[in-house]
Structures are given as C-alpha cells and as structure tokens.
Amino acid sequence: MAMLYPWQQSSWQQFASLKQQQRIPHAILLTGVNGLGKNTFSQQITKSILCLSPRESQLACGQCHSCHVFDAGSHPDHIEIKPEETGKQIKIEQIRQLIEKQQLTPTVSKWKTVVISPAYSMNVNANNSLLKLLEEPQPNTLFVLITSKPEQTPITVKSRCQTFHLPAPPFSEALAWLVANSAYNADETTTNILKLAKGAPLAAIEMLDQQGAESYQQIEQDFNTMLTAYISPIELAANWQKYNLSQLMNQLQYSLQDRIVNNQLAIDKSPSLEHQNKRYWQIMDCIVDTTKLLSSPNNINKTLLIEDFIVSVMRLSDNAQ
C-alpha cells in the first residue's frame, strides 16, 4: 500500500508534476529535520520511477513486477547506500562499487535508482567520488540523497541536485496527527517533546516511546538542580547513561533557550538577569560542544564526557557565585 504522510502531499505534487512533464532531475537532495518520513518519501519516489505502470497520481501501482521485487527488497535496478553500521561513515569503497554498477543497463525497469542515506555520512573522499558520477549523469538514472544536515553536503554536490525540502507541518496539525496516531495525549509534556523534535511528529513519537514522558521530566528536574544547587557529577553522569545523550542535550538546549527568552522579557524589571543570561549563553556553548563530541565518529568515554559537562555547567551556574 502506497503511503504518504499528510505533510508530504505538496512535495509529492512537486515531484509528480516533474515526472508528468518528463523533467525528472538526475539527482534529488531530500532535506528536512528527522522524523518527517524522508526515507518513506524517497521510497515512494524511487518505487514510482521504477514502476512499470504508475497511477495517475504518479504513485507506484504496487502490482507490477517492478513493484513486487521492490517490495521484496531485491530490485536489481535499485541500490541503497548507507553506513555499514549506524552512526558510522559511508565508505568511499561503497561509492566506488556504485561506479562499477552504474555501467550496467537496467533490467526490470526503464530507470535505475540510487538512494544515499544519510548523505552527511559521506566524508570528503566519498563526496568527491560521488561528484564524478553526478558530473557525468547517465541517462535514466536518478540519485536521491537524503539528509537532515544539508549544510554538510558540499556545494559542488548540492549544485548538481534539485533540492526537495520536506517541511514540518504547522505545529497544531503535527500535534493533532501525533495524538490521532499514537497513544499519547496532547498534554504539556507531549507538546514540549514535539517542540524538541522540531515539530516532526514521527520523531516526537519515537522520543516518547524511547525516553517517555517521565524521563523528560526527570531530565528537566536534574538540569534545574544543576543550575541552582549541587548535584554529584559522578552519580548524575552514571544515571544519564540510560538516555539517548544526543536527545538529552537537545532537550537541555531547548530548556535553556526558554530560560534565556524568559529572562530577556523580564530584563527591564530585573537587570541582574542580564548577567544570568550571559552565563546561560556560556552553558549553551558547553551543550553545543558536548553535542558535537557525542556525534563525532571517534570513540569517546561518554561517562567522562558527561561528568565534565556537569562540572562545567555547575561552575557557570547560579550556585557558583
């Protein structure tokens, strides 16, 4: 069953109209924050391109030989490239193998499709290797590069792609969809977690499923303690290891942003808040640095990293004065 999320409809129209006019680009850069179903959308695009008798909406028919082998994950004209392990880089060898395969002509469909996800997992060498392919586009071949971090795609690669940006739905629609499609209510925690997920309903549901509302509140409480009193860095760092630490940092960042904005609004009445905001911005730098280290491909001791983070925050917070 072909499926598009409601917020993907207008992007699909954009694609369908290009397809109807036979103006399919050689490469698409599919962007948007995590949790909007970019992979699902890309699947619909490639399945539609490969389909032998697409519907009027340009969605794949789901019945033909191409659709059958696509659904079985064994379409000979379709290649998906992703890191061999989650969170690792896409290796240059993976792109080189692609170059060899590109010499072949399609067997089931009239087109060949290649999906690279996430595109930000390609290092400089892999990107350069891909660029060679994009510079000499083969007829009837479509590349789809999926990324939530388009700023990390080199401009040389970007300029060879047509960008399709999947926007998050308006917040109220996102919340309504989340409530209708999950077991969660539209309460304050759900609303905050949806904000944390940048308005992406699928990411919010995943966060609620994985971390849960209780974890969210616990982290808020821990952070509040760090900012106003003493908390043992060793104990807290050990406790936090059970969470997804990148998501946790994301939550702290949002929480701190709220505090900064609230201070800003009250600064006329209470000038000392300006000093507090200055320190909040320094704490924000700590969060950004820690987030970067957490996502670096190098092996790091996460417990030590979080201990350092907690110590730095407490040094900068109110109780350090």
Name the residue nearer to Zn ion (CB basis): 55 or 278.
55
Name the residue nearer to Zn ion (CB basis): 46 or 121.
46
Min. distance of Cβ 71 from Zn ion in angstroms? 10
Piece of 44-52, 76-84, 128-136, 286-294 that binds Zn ion (CB under 5 A): 44-52
69 binds Zn ion (CB under 5 A): no
**Radius of gyration (C-alpha) of the chain in whole angstroms:** 23
Among positions 136-155, residues that touch Zn ion (CB under 5 A) are none
Rounded Cα distance, 24 and 49, in Å? 9
45 binds Zn ion (CB under 5 A): no
Rounded Cα distance, 265 and 259, in Å? 10
- According to CB under 5 A, which one of 4, 18, 64, 236 is a site residue for Zn ion? 64
108 binds Zn ion (CB under 5 A): no
176 binds Zn ion (CB under 5 A): no
Min. distance of Cβ 3 from Zn ion in angstroms? 15
* Alpha-helical runs (H) found in the chain: 9-20, 38-50, 65-71, 92-101, 124-135, 155-158, 171-180, 188-196, 201-210, 212-228, 233-240, 245-266, 272-294, 302-316
- According to CB under 5 A, which one of 16, 24, 49, 67 is a site residue for Zn ion? 67
Are 193 and 174 in contact by the 8 Å Cβ rule? The answer is: no
Min. distance of Cβ 114 from Zn ion in angstroms? 19
Q: Smallest Cα–Cα separation from 110: which of 135, 132, 139?
A: 139
Are 52 and 109 in contact by the 8 Å Cβ rule? The answer is: yes
Residues at the contact surface with Zn ion, assessed by CB under 5 A: 51, 60-61, 64, 67
